[in-house]
Copies of this chain bind each other. A is one copy, B any other.
Amino acid sequence: MAEIKYEILEKIGVLTESGRGWRKELNLISWNDRAPKYDLREWSPDGEKMGKGITLSKEDLVALKEILDRMDL
């Protein structure tokens, strides 16, 4: 499998941690030396392995914030 090159430019926040120690994190990541994107993803306890996630633009975050603001959380 080809290697994915990435650099975490900013650790923005940790949402929660699972029983196994995996953390859901919002980070700013550059993938393959491309322009950085926001990234919501699970990471292993040592931060070496990445789980499922989704890359998000600033526009996505603004829209997500508006959606969360109108939810009854």
Residues of A bordering B, CB below 8 Å: 12-16, 24, 26, 40-42, 52-54, 56-69, 71, 73
Contact = CB atoms under 8 A, between A and B. Distances in A.
B16 A63 contact: yes
Copies per complex? 2
Given A15-B63, A65-B65, 7 more contacts: A12-B71, A13-B63, A26-B67, A41-B54, A53-B54, A61-B71, A65-B73
Contacts of A52: 52-54
B63 A65 contact: no
A73 B58 contact: yes
Contact of A16 (B15, B41, B53, B60): B60
Contacts of A41: 54
